[in-house]
Amino acid sequence: MRLAAAIPVIGLALLGGCGGHGAKKQAAAQVIPVAKSKTCTAGSVTRLGSPELAYAAVVRSHAAVYRRPGARAFARFGKLNVNGVPTIFWIRGARVDAGCKPRQYLVQIPKRPNGMTAWVTARQVDVERVTTRIVVDLSAKRVTLFDHGRRVLSSKAAIGAPATPTPTGSFYVNQRLIPSDKNGPFGPGAVGVSAFSNVLTGWTQGGPIAIHGTNAPWSIGKAVSNGCIRIPNPVMAKLFRLTLSGTPVLIRV
Protein backbone atom coordinates (compact mmCIF):
# COMPACT_ATOMS: atom_id res chain seq x y z
CA MET A 1 0.00 0.00 0.00
CA ARG A 2 1.65 3.21 -1.15
CA LEU A 3 0.13 5.32 1.61
CA ALA A 4 1.94 3.13 4.12
CA ALA A 5 5.29 3.20 2.31
CA ALA A 6 8.33 4.03 4.44
CA ILE A 7 12.11 4.20 4.04
CA PRO A 8 15.06 4.42 6.43
CA VAL A 9 16.10 7.86 7.62
CA ILE A 10 19.81 8.54 7.20
CA GLY A 11 21.05 10.92 9.88
CA LEU A 12 19.29 14.13 10.94
CA ALA A 13 19.17 15.97 7.63
CA LEU A 14 15.87 14.56 6.40
CA LEU A 15 13.96 16.25 9.20
CA GLY A 16 15.71 19.59 9.41
CA GLY A 17 13.08 21.19 11.67
CA CYS A 18 13.31 18.43 14.31
CA GLY A 19 16.91 19.13 16.17
CA GLY A 20 2.56 5.54 5.05
CA HIS A 21 -3.00 -1.63 8.92
CA GLY A 22 -6.13 0.30 8.55
CA ALA A 23 -7.68 1.69 5.41
CA LYS A 24 -7.93 -0.26 2.18
CA LYS A 25 -6.46 1.11 -1.01
CA GLN A 26 -8.87 2.31 -3.66
CA ALA A 27 -8.59 1.28 -7.26
CA ALA A 28 -6.25 3.40 -9.35
CA ALA A 29 -7.73 6.64 -10.65
CA GLN A 30 -10.96 6.01 -8.78
CA VAL A 31 -13.53 8.75 -9.25
CA ILE A 32 -14.55 10.40 -5.99
CA PRO A 33 -18.35 10.59 -5.76
CA VAL A 34 -18.97 14.32 -5.69
CA ALA A 35 -22.73 14.35 -6.22
CA LYS A 36 -25.70 12.01 -5.80
CA SER A 37 -27.10 13.02 -9.18
CA LYS A 38 -25.54 11.94 -12.48
CA THR A 39 -25.25 15.46 -13.83
CA CYS A 40 -23.28 18.47 -12.67
CA THR A 41 -22.53 21.93 -13.96
CA ALA A 42 -19.34 21.57 -15.97
CA GLY A 43 -16.53 23.50 -14.32
CA SER A 44 -18.20 23.64 -10.92
CA VAL A 45 -16.06 23.06 -7.83
CA THR A 46 -17.05 20.74 -4.99
CA ARG A 47 -15.32 20.67 -1.61
CA LEU A 48 -14.36 17.18 -0.47
CA GLY A 49 -13.67 15.51 2.84
CA SER A 50 -15.01 15.54 6.39
CA PRO A 51 -13.66 14.96 9.92
CA GLU A 52 -14.23 11.22 9.34
CA LEU A 53 -12.98 10.88 5.77
CA ALA A 54 -10.23 12.47 3.70
CA TYR A 55 -8.85 11.81 0.24
CA ALA A 56 -5.19 11.56 -0.73
CA ALA A 57 -3.77 12.01 -4.22
CA VAL A 58 -0.80 9.77 -5.03
CA VAL A 59 1.31 11.01 -7.94
CA ARG A 60 1.48 8.36 -10.69
CA SER A 61 4.67 9.25 -12.56
CA HIS A 62 4.78 13.05 -12.43
CA ALA A 63 2.45 15.93 -11.65
CA ALA A 64 2.36 19.61 -12.53
CA VAL A 65 0.40 21.93 -10.24
CA TYR A 66 -1.35 25.18 -11.10
CA ARG A 67 -2.56 28.19 -9.13
CA ARG A 68 -5.84 27.94 -11.06
CA PRO A 69 -7.19 25.63 -13.78
CA GLY A 70 -5.80 26.60 -17.16
CA ALA A 71 -2.88 28.58 -15.74
CA ARG A 72 0.78 27.79 -16.31
CA ALA A 73 2.32 25.25 -13.91
CA PHE A 74 4.32 26.80 -11.06
CA ALA A 75 5.69 23.56 -9.57
CA ARG A 76 6.31 19.98 -10.64
CA PHE A 77 6.55 16.79 -8.62
CA GLY A 78 7.87 13.32 -9.38
CA LYS A 79 6.47 9.96 -8.37
CA LEU A 80 8.88 9.91 -5.40
CA ASN A 81 9.85 12.83 -3.21
CA VAL A 82 13.37 13.81 -2.16
CA ASN A 83 13.35 11.09 0.52
CA GLY A 84 12.41 8.38 -1.98
CA VAL A 85 8.81 7.83 -0.83
CA PRO A 86 5.62 8.36 -2.88
CA THR A 87 4.59 11.97 -3.41
CA ILE A 88 1.27 12.59 -1.67
CA PHE A 89 -1.16 15.52 -1.81
CA TRP A 90 -4.25 16.13 0.34
CA ILE A 91 -7.36 16.53 -1.83
CA ARG A 92 -9.53 19.44 -0.69
CA GLY A 93 -11.91 19.71 -3.64
CA ALA A 94 -12.63 18.79 -7.26
CA ARG A 95 -13.54 20.62 -10.46
CA VAL A 96 -15.96 18.38 -12.32
CA ASP A 97 -17.39 17.90 -15.80
CA ALA A 98 -21.08 17.63 -16.71
CA GLY A 99 -21.08 13.98 -15.67
CA CYS A 100 -19.73 14.84 -12.21
CA LYS A 101 -16.34 13.29 -12.99
CA PRO A 102 -13.36 15.19 -11.49
CA ARG A 103 -11.13 16.81 -14.11
CA GLN A 104 -8.85 18.61 -11.66
CA TYR A 105 -8.32 18.29 -7.94
CA LEU A 106 -7.69 21.13 -5.54
CA VAL A 107 -4.88 19.79 -3.38
CA GLN A 108 -2.72 20.91 -0.50
CA ILE A 109 0.94 20.47 -1.37
CA PRO A 110 4.12 20.22 0.76
CA LYS A 111 5.58 23.61 -0.14
CA ARG A 112 5.97 26.99 1.48
CA PRO A 113 4.03 28.99 2.49
CA ASN A 114 2.44 26.54 4.91
CA GLY A 115 -0.97 25.31 3.81
CA MET A 116 -0.41 26.10 0.11
CA THR A 117 -3.05 24.70 -2.24
CA ALA A 118 -2.90 24.15 -6.00
CA TRP A 119 -4.72 22.39 -8.82
CA VAL A 120 -3.56 19.10 -10.34
CA THR A 121 -5.00 17.25 -13.33
CA ALA A 122 -6.99 14.22 -12.13
CA ARG A 123 -5.33 11.80 -14.55
CA GLN A 124 -1.91 12.50 -13.00
CA VAL A 125 -2.85 11.04 -9.62
CA ASP A 126 -4.46 8.00 -8.05
CA VAL A 127 -6.97 8.52 -5.25
CA GLU A 128 -6.94 6.89 -1.82
CA ARG A 129 -9.38 7.08 1.10
CA VAL A 130 -8.04 8.02 4.54
CA THR A 131 -10.12 7.63 7.70
CA THR A 132 -7.50 8.79 10.22
CA ARG A 133 -6.97 12.32 11.55
CA ILE A 134 -4.40 13.80 13.96
CA VAL A 135 -4.95 16.76 16.27
CA VAL A 136 -1.96 18.41 17.94
CA ASP A 137 -2.98 20.69 20.82
CA LEU A 138 0.01 22.90 21.60
CA SER A 139 -1.50 24.43 24.73
CA ALA A 140 -2.11 20.98 26.21
CA LYS A 141 1.09 19.58 24.63
CA ARG A 142 -0.90 16.60 23.43
CA VAL A 143 -1.23 14.52 20.25
CA THR A 144 -4.50 12.70 19.54
CA LEU A 145 -5.19 10.25 16.72
CA PHE A 146 -8.75 9.64 15.49
CA ASP A 147 -10.01 6.91 13.16
CA HIS A 148 -13.51 7.17 11.67
CA GLY A 149 -14.03 10.06 14.08
CA ARG A 150 -13.23 7.97 17.17
CA ARG A 151 -10.25 8.66 19.41
CA VAL A 152 -7.85 5.72 19.28
CA LEU A 153 -4.68 7.21 20.77
CA SER A 154 -3.69 10.23 22.87
CA SER A 155 -0.36 11.20 24.37
CA LYS A 156 1.52 14.05 25.98
CA ALA A 157 4.11 15.52 23.65
CA ALA A 158 7.11 17.80 23.45
CA ILE A 159 6.59 20.79 21.15
CA GLY A 160 8.62 23.64 19.70
CA ALA A 161 10.53 25.94 22.02
CA PRO A 162 9.49 29.61 22.16
CA ALA A 163 12.34 30.55 19.79
CA THR A 164 11.49 27.72 17.34
CA PRO A 165 7.74 27.25 17.69
CA THR A 166 5.70 24.49 16.10
CA PRO A 167 3.68 26.04 13.24
CA THR A 168 -0.09 26.01 13.50
CA GLY A 169 -2.66 25.28 10.81
CA SER A 170 -4.23 22.46 8.79
CA PHE A 171 -1.67 20.11 7.25
CA TYR A 172 -1.37 16.43 6.33
CA VAL A 173 0.99 13.48 6.63
CA ASN A 174 3.07 13.58 3.45
CA GLN A 175 5.59 10.85 4.29
CA ARG A 176 6.40 8.11 6.78
CA LEU A 177 10.04 7.46 7.62
CA ILE A 178 11.80 4.70 9.56
CA PRO A 179 15.02 5.83 11.30
CA SER A 180 18.09 3.68 10.78
CA ASP A 181 18.73 3.96 14.53
CA LYS A 182 15.52 3.28 16.44
CA ASN A 183 17.25 4.32 19.66
CA GLY A 184 18.23 7.67 18.17
CA PRO A 185 16.60 11.12 18.31
CA PHE A 186 13.60 10.07 16.16
CA GLY A 187 12.82 6.85 18.02
CA PRO A 188 11.12 4.03 16.08
CA GLY A 189 9.51 6.20 13.43
CA ALA A 190 8.74 9.66 12.07
CA VAL A 191 5.50 10.84 10.51
CA GLY A 192 6.36 13.76 8.26
CA VAL A 193 3.88 16.64 8.17
CA SER A 194 3.44 19.03 5.22
CA ALA A 195 4.40 21.98 7.42
CA PHE A 196 7.68 23.85 7.67
CA SER A 197 9.27 25.78 10.48
CA ASN A 198 8.50 29.50 10.29
CA VAL A 199 11.93 30.20 11.79
CA LEU A 200 14.39 27.61 10.48
CA THR A 201 13.93 28.50 6.82
CA GLY A 202 17.56 27.82 5.94
CA TRP A 203 17.64 24.27 7.28
CA THR A 204 17.89 21.18 5.09
CA GLN A 205 14.75 20.72 2.93
CA GLY A 206 13.40 24.01 4.32
CA GLY A 207 12.95 22.89 7.93
CA PRO A 208 10.20 20.26 7.61
CA ILE A 209 8.07 19.35 10.64
CA ALA A 210 7.34 15.82 11.85
CA ILE A 211 5.81 13.85 14.67
CA HIS A 212 8.39 11.37 15.92
CA GLY A 213 9.75 9.40 18.85
CA THR A 214 12.65 10.51 21.00
CA ASN A 215 15.73 9.42 22.91
CA ALA A 216 15.04 12.22 25.41
CA PRO A 217 11.91 11.07 27.25
CA TRP A 218 12.45 13.83 29.81
CA SER A 219 11.39 16.33 27.13
CA ILE A 220 7.83 15.01 26.82
CA GLY A 221 5.38 17.64 28.03
CA LYS A 222 7.82 20.50 27.49
CA ALA A 223 8.37 23.17 24.83
CA VAL A 224 11.94 22.33 23.88
CA SER A 225 12.14 21.12 20.26
CA ASN A 226 13.12 22.90 17.05
CA GLY A 227 9.47 22.73 15.95
CA CYS A 228 8.80 19.01 15.66
CA ILE A 229 6.44 17.12 17.94
CA ARG A 230 7.96 14.34 20.05
CA ILE A 231 5.96 11.57 21.69
CA PRO A 232 7.10 8.53 23.75
CA ASN A 233 8.56 5.73 21.65
CA PRO A 234 5.90 3.09 22.49
CA VAL A 235 3.17 5.57 21.50
CA MET A 236 5.05 6.54 18.35
CA ALA A 237 5.30 2.91 17.29
CA LYS A 238 1.52 2.58 17.52
CA LEU A 239 0.81 5.92 15.82
CA PHE A 240 3.17 5.01 12.99
CA ARG A 241 1.40 1.70 12.47
CA LEU A 242 -2.07 3.31 12.37
CA THR A 243 -1.36 6.47 10.41
CA LEU A 244 -1.39 6.47 6.61
CA SER A 245 0.17 9.16 4.46
CA GLY A 246 -2.57 11.63 3.54
CA THR A 247 -3.87 11.77 7.12
CA PRO A 248 -5.04 15.34 7.93
CA VAL A 249 -3.09 16.98 10.76
CA LEU A 250 -4.54 19.93 12.68
CA ILE A 251 -2.01 21.80 14.79
CA ARG A 252 -3.73 24.32 17.05
CA VAL A 253 -2.94 26.48 20.04
Return the domain boundaries, the chain: 2-21+132-252, 45-130
Residue type, 30: Q
Q: Looking at 18, 40, 100, 212, which residue is catalytic?
A: 212
The model's pLDDT over 124-139, given as tens digits with 9 standing for 90+, comes to 999 999 999 999 999 9
Q: Of 21, 100, 148, 228, which residue is the catalytic one?
A: 228
Q: What is the C-alpha radius of gyration for the chain, rounded to an integer number of angstroms?
A: 18
What b/e sequence results for 64-79 when a residue is b if at least 16 CB atoms lie within 10 Å of its CB, and e otherwise? ebbeeeeeeeeeebee
Based on the residue annotation, tell me whether 21 is a catalytic residue of this protein: no
DSSP code for 29: T
State how beta strands 208-212 and 190-196 pair.
Answer: antiparallel
Chain centroid offset of residue 109 CA:
9
> Is 228 annotated in the active site?
yes
CATH 2.30.30.40 corresponds to the domain 45-130: yes
The tens digit of pLDDT for each residue in 12-52 reads 344 545 643 233 333 334 556 555 567 889 999 999 999 89
CATH code assigned to 2-21+132-252: 2.40.440.10
Output the pTM of the full model. 0.89
pLDDT in tens, 156-172: 999 999 999 999 999 99
